Copies of this chain bind each other. A is one copy, B any other.
Amino acid sequence: MLNRSAARRHHDPEDVITATIRDVAAAAGVSPATVSRAFGRPEKVDESTRRRIVEAAERLGYQPNRAAQSLTTGRTGNIGIMVPDLANPFFTSVLKGAQHQANRLGHPVLLADTEEDPSAELRFSRALAQQVDGLVLCGSLMSDDEVLQISRLRPLVLVNRQVPKLPAITVDNAGGARQAVTHLRALGHRRIGYVAGPPGSYSNAERYQAVSEHAEGAGLECVPVGHFEPSFEGGRGAADQVLLAGVSAVVVYNDVMALGLVNQLVAYGVAVPAEISVVGFDDIPIAAMFTPALTTVRIPREQAGGAAVAHLHALLTGGRPVPPPDLTTELVVRGTTARSR
């Protein structure tokens, strides 16, 4: 006999009839407890009865009710992922990797787009915390304190951001910066610029510092250029200052900006890479589509998302796994860099 659930009685009379654990128990001639065990701890159930139960469950189309499970176990099996902007290809890549891994691990994903609003971030975290076992926070803009606060609600893994004591998936920005600088040095550039993204950005700071260190360590001059919005328009806006800086090459905070910069430079009639070489960061898909195609430091975005989820999963099931090391970058040389004249 199939149930008439609360849902059925009160709200959704045409809801599909769902078998409960009792229906299965009755059909298999066992108690509900045994059915529960048959799925949750199969080893504690006699193989033959287990088979009988599974068969009955299948016949009835039984699916455990997740709300009931959550209520009794206190776990939901879900994970939450928060990103600052779904329109940003960087974050959607991370999301895609995370989603993929979550899927493999059997965790449904609750998504939140904070639209770059730190206060929304706090609200969402609180709201999500209730229905997830853990959280992945991408490029969070909250203060360290706020993040810490959230981390007391649920286990959490950061991506592209660090907060003392909290697990984080990070990228070897310093290594990437070194790769970019070495490349430019090999091409004979002696004075390079770093076109900066938003002042508050963690990765921007890392990249700038590493570029300038490596440049100076190698006897190059390194000129900081502005802070700009991390957008195509922001990159275009940087063109004037790049020209003023008197450099033969620049490393740009990210690809979107680098593309905007190249676009504006070309519009000015400045030859890229003949007059100025440009290196981006990220290797977003469109970097390869432009003409000239962008030389850039690839960062493994999907991998980062996947690693974050994998680590969270480990946190949730095991104990305190070692956090994975920095993800390594790779220099992709394309058409926006050339020998210095």
Contact = CB atoms under 8 A, between A and B. Distances in A.
A7 B70 CA distance: 9
Chain A residues touching B, range:
35 or more
Looking at chain A's contact residues, the main secondary structure is helix
A15 B81 CA distance: 20
Contacts of A138: none
A300 interface: no
Contacts of A81: 111
A74 B113 contact: no
Contact of A67 (B5, B70, B108, B290): B70
Given A5-B74, A99-B86, A260 B289 contact: yes
Work out how many copies of this chain go into the complex: 2
Contacts of A87: 92-93, 96, 285
Given A93-B87, A95-B86, A100-B113, A71 B75 contact: no
A62 to B, nearest CB: 12
Nearest to A235: B289
Interface in A5-27: 5-8, 10-12, 15-16
Contact of A128 (B108, B128, B153): B108
Interface string A90-115: 00110110011001000011111101
A15 B130 contact: no
A77 to B, nearest CB: 9
A231 to B, nearest CB: 10
A68 interface: yes
Contact of A289 (B15, B108, B110, B259): B259
Nearest to A285: B87
A256 to B, nearest CB: 9
Interface of A: 5-8, 10-12, 15-16, 63, 65-68, 70-76, 78, 81, 86-87, 89, 92-93, 95-96, 99-100, 103, 108-113, 115, 127-128, 130-131, 152-153, 232, 259-260, 263, 266-267, 285-286, 289-291
Given A89-B89, A110-B110, A286-B286, 13 more contacts: A6-B72, A6-B74, A12-B74, A66-B130, A67-B131, A71-B71, A78-B110, A87-B96, A96-B113, A103-B112, A266-B291, A286-B289, A291-B291
8 contacts: A11-B73, A11-B75, A78-B131, A99-B111, A103-B112, A109-B112, A110-B110, A232-B285
